[in-house]
Structure 1
Amino acid sequence: MVLLPPCVPDMCGKDFRATLKKPSPNYPHKTKKYRLVPAFTIQAMQKNTKVIPPPKCSVFDPLPPKSTMFRSCYQRGEFPVCIEFTTYGKRLNWKVPIEKLDFHHYLPMFFDGLAEPTYPFSFIVEQGINDLVTKGSYKILPVVPQLIIPIKNALATKRPNVICHALRCVQMIVTGCDKVGEALVPYYRQILPTLNLFKNRNTNIGSNIDHTASRGENVADMIEDTLQILERYGGPDAFINIKYMIPTYESCVMN
């Protein structure tokens, strides 16, 4: 007598019923369409809706480059300067004595070129401002109100190299000219908002070496140095005005 194995079905009733709910592979599965609605509205609580995430503010994104008046004037040959290559490197060759220049015309034009990130404009601007401060520092104080908008426009580009370039030039006029630091105090509300944004913009690189700090291209370090210079040369009202615009700043004089 031969015993046959018991008859066991390949699929139980529960599994069979589960397969009935699955879509057939021969027919495309129809996905349920949702209506896209903006975030933080009454429509977000309705049925069959999908909330669109709010857009990013992109507060640290640099602005697109724009052509400045300095570039246009330089290309037309309105500046009495040219780049001279010597055995010691590059320098600016002035065609007229610097003491005879009209600072009310040329100095704001040079500061307008702070927004230019490319060579040779960046070199001409920084070296030209350095020469004007060195040989005509007594003429800079009356021109300070005309320099605020060019400085503000250069910082508003949010480009690290442009911000460092502009801060170096601000340090030149503050340390190289008398009373300029005190004259800038009423204009802190135009200059300091961008510095407050990038003050702690440091990158954690661990045990590696940050070579931008030695070259003066680290934005956070340049901002800290500039704020300390503004406090030292800005008089008794400098710290309270800096603290109002940048709450995280700590005094380098009182401490």
Structure 2
Amino acid sequence: MVNRGEFWSEVRRKKCGREKKALRIVPAFTIQALQANTVVASPPRISLFKERPAKISVFRKYYERGMFPLTLEVDGGAGLHVTWKLSSGKLGMEKLDYKYYLPLFFDGLTENRQPYSFIVEQSITDMLEVGSVKVLPVIPYLIKPIKKSLDTKIPEVICRTCRILQRLVRCGPCIGEALVPYFRQILPIFNLFKEKKVNLGEAIDYSQQRGDNVPDLIQETLEIFEQYGGEDAFINIKYIIPTYESCINN
């Protein structure tokens, strides 16, 4: 014999099941979230490593108009080569206005297409080698394009920027120390990608052999910053990147 209490409990359960409405998804932290038959929407995913390609750089616009004293030539088996259209050739770059040209070339670090990326890296390298004494006064004008290139979060662009930063610090005296006050603009992206290892399982990561491995290049760049940045370099790096360990003290 069926128990009277169990019978009516079963009836009420079936009745509630038929009358149950589909839950309505509503935004979080709103008055709608307090209403009946609602469920709060899940928070959006945060894409920390999502690439953010920059717009066409000012460098590219100026280069296409022929406003730089250089040409791109193709050697027989050596590939591309940048030739400076100056009276004394490459040595004549000492007479260039570094405050005007160098920030424009640094602005082109965001370019990820050939031949623009090659022209930018080679041109900056040439200017740093020839006119190193003229680089120090231009440092404040280079921070914004450096930060813009790192903020793209494109691995190739970050690697190119790291190589340029290493050459920049080594090209002349006091440049490493002059960069220390700008670590708060430069290093946050380094902190994001420093421990981003690529899990390939048993496969081989050929980027390490090519020198295009982002975490490795970031580590090398930070060590150079510490070596050339003076006594305040390490504490400023450590403030932005807590996982960094000194290459001098250790």
TM-score class normalised by the smaller sequence: 0.7 to 0.9
**Identity percentage over the alignment?**
55
Output aligned runs, 1:231-242, within 5 Å. 231-242=226-237
Match of 1:116 in 2: 111
Which residue is 1:91 aligned to? 81
CA drift of 1:203 comes to 1.1
Give runs of aligned pairs for residues 34-183 of structure 1, distance below 5 A.
34-41=23-30, 43-44=32-33, 46-87=35-76, 88-96=78-86, 97-183=92-178
C-alpha displacement at 1:65, in angstroms? 3.2
Give the distance between the partners of 2:177 and 2:19, measured in 1 at CA. Answer: 71
> What SS class does the counterpart of residue 82 from structure 1 fall into?
strand
Shift of 1:56: 1.4
Structure 2 Cα separation of the partners of residues 141 and 186 of structure 1: 14
Paired residue secondary structure (1:36): strand
TM-score, scaled to structure 2:
0.87
Distance 1:200 1:74 in 2: 36
C-alpha distance in structure 2 between counterparts of 1:32 and 1:64, whole Å? 45
Name 1:12's counterpart in structure 2: none
Q: Which runs of no fewer than 5 residues in structure 1 stay unpaired? A: 1-16, 22-28
Q: 1:30, 1:89 → 2: CA distance? A: 75
Letter in 2 for 1:212: S
Which of 207, 229, 236 is the aligned partner of 2:224?
A: 229
Alpha-carbon distance between aligned partners in 2 of 1:138 and 1:64, rounded to the nearest angstrom: 33
What is the CA–CA distance in structure 2 between the aligned matches of 1:178 and 1:153, rounded to whole Å? 25
- What code does the residue aligned with 1:91 have? H
After superposition, the Cα gap between the structure-2 partners of 1:104 and 1:38, relative to the gap in structure 1 and judged at 3 Å, is: same
Partners of 2:83 and 2:96 in 1: CA distance: 14
Paired amino acid for 1:227: L
Would you say the 8 A contact 2:70–2:82 is kept in 1? yes
Q: Distance in 2 between matches of 1:159 and 1:64?
A: 7
Give distance in 2, aligned partners of 1:46 and 1:203. Answer: 45
Q: Distance in 2 between matches of 1:246 and 1:47?
A: 46
Contact 2:26 2:32 in 1 (8 A): yes
Q: Does 1:199 align with 2:188?
A: no
User: How far 1:46 sits from its partner (Å)?
Assistant: 3.8
Report the residue type matching 1:49 in the other structure: T
Secondary structure of 1:58's aligned partner: coil
Shift of 1:134: 1.1
Q: Structure 1 CA distance, aligned partners of 2:79 and 2:131?
A: 24
Aligned-partner Cα distance in 2 for 1:152–1:136 = 23
Task: Give ranges in structure 2 of 5+ residues lacking alignment.
Answer: 1-9, 87-91
Alpha-carbon distance between aligned partners in 2 of 1:30 and 1:72, rounded to the nearest angstrom:
65
- The separation in 2 between residues aligned to 1:159 and 1:186, in whole angstroms, is 25
Letter in 2 for 1:147: L
Q: CA RMSD in A?
A: 2.2
Deviations 1:20-71 (A, max 9, x none): x8xxxxxxx9993332212355644543112211111212111143111111
CA distance in 1, matches of 2:226, 2:142: 19
Q: What is the distance in 2 between the residues matched to 1:32 and 1:215?
A: 59
TM-score (norm 1): 0.85
> Which structure would you say has the larger Rg?
1
Deviations 1:107-142 (A, max 9, x none): 000000001111111000000011001111111111
CA distance in 2, matches of 1:31, 1:74: 67
Separation of aligned partners in 2, 1:55 and 1:64: 21
Residue type at the aligned position of 2:124: I
Matched pairs, number = 232
